[in-house]
Amino acid sequence: MRSKTSVRRRAAIVPFVVATLASAAIIATGGGCGESKRAEDSFLPSWQAGATRSAIEAFVARTTDPSSPDFVPERDRIAVFDNDGTLWAEQPNYVQLAFIVDRVRALEGAHPQWASTEPFASVLRGDMRAVAAQGEPGIAALVGATHGGMTSDEFRQTVRAWLATSRHPGTGRRYLDMAYRPMLEMLAYLRAHGYRTFVVSGGGVDFVRAFAEELYGIPGDQVIGSTARLRLEVRDGVPVVVKTGEIEFVDDGAGKPVSIESRIGARPRMAFGNSDGDFEMLAWTTAGDGPRMGVIIRHTDAEREWAYDRESSVGHLARALDEAPARGWVVVDMSRDWIQVWP
């Protein structure tokens, strides 16, 4: 990413989402499955006309047209979306990691021993490379210290408060203004055509839930993610469910088909991802009977966003890209297919 874009206020995005949803609802109610080309245009204005957009629209058309041999009844119209790098930006590092770093700093005063204890000492020095070198145990310790001991609701409030003011160091934008406008349009477009949309994130489920409803129009029960073990406790006579901070399930790679089957109980019709961590989700989705679609968001836009794939540790994309043609997956070229990146 070379150029800084101007800072946008978060307020801008909410009316956009609401307006998109409203127009979608009107068309879905009034138009049924026979929307005109003009109506389709109104759903995906940030998508360049061309092969990519046409492939997606053709799939939606034939799975929602009752006279099509590929018609899919509404109950089976399920679309799953990876979050980091698919619905919002993930460079130079996952937003949740920035949150963890800020939480460690905020809690440092109550934990003086952190200055000389790993992985906290490295975080406080800003040496994320040293944190990464500690692998999963290091991440688990950070998650435990910053996510544990509170209720899910308290945690989500903490995340919301942080998101309300935190900005990306490179763009100056709030993270909430770094969801991809074309993908917000895609979510509304699919929902208007009877698809239910789920987030399936490698990130923590409660972290994503903190903003998924407002940002994506996706309620908490349609957010799937990595989980910490929960425990029922009674505090001041009131039963509460508390996050232990102990990692229970990592929703990445082979974990994604497992979590989708566990939580949804069905193989999706459409899957959107951007990295090899989504490979199994796309492979499993598109191996099902009948019409299925896999979509890879490829980060090719060094001017407006970032360009990365094989060499990147965050959003590493190699195998899924290599196998996409043979598997019939649609590869979105961000610089070519997206008229606008941010809202």
Name the site residues for a second copy (rule: CB under 8 A): 75, 152-153, 156, 196, 198, 205-206, 209, 213, 219-223, 227, 230-232, 238-241, 254, 257-258, 260-267, 280, 283-284, 287
* Exposed/middle/buried for residue 67 (C-beta within 10 Å: 0-12, 13-18, 19+): exposed
Phi, psi for 335 (deg, rounded to 5): -70, -30
197 vs 300 by CB, closer to a second copy? 197
127 vs 213 by CB, closer to a second copy? 213
Rounded least distance, CB 264 to a second copy, Å: 4
| Bond into 291 cis (ω within 30) | no
**What does the alpha-carbon distance between residue 242 and residue 245 come to, in Å, rounded to a whole number?**
9
Phi, psi for 308 (deg, rounded to 5): -160, 150
3-class SS at 67? coil
11 vs 232 by CB, closer to a second copy? 232
Question: One-letter amino acid identity for 132?
Answer: A
172 vs 219 by CB, closer to a second copy? 219
Rounded least distance, CB 92 to a second copy, Å: 29
| Bond into 92 cis (ω within 30) | yes
Cβ proximity of 43 and 184 under 8 Å: no
210 vs 317 by CB, closer to a second copy? 210
Rounded least distance, CB 163 to a second copy, Å: 16
Rounded least distance, CB 33 to a second copy, Å: 18
Question: Cβ contacts of residue 28 below 8 Å, gap of 6+?
Answer: 191, 192, 193, 194
Rounded least distance, CB 208 to a second copy, Å: 9
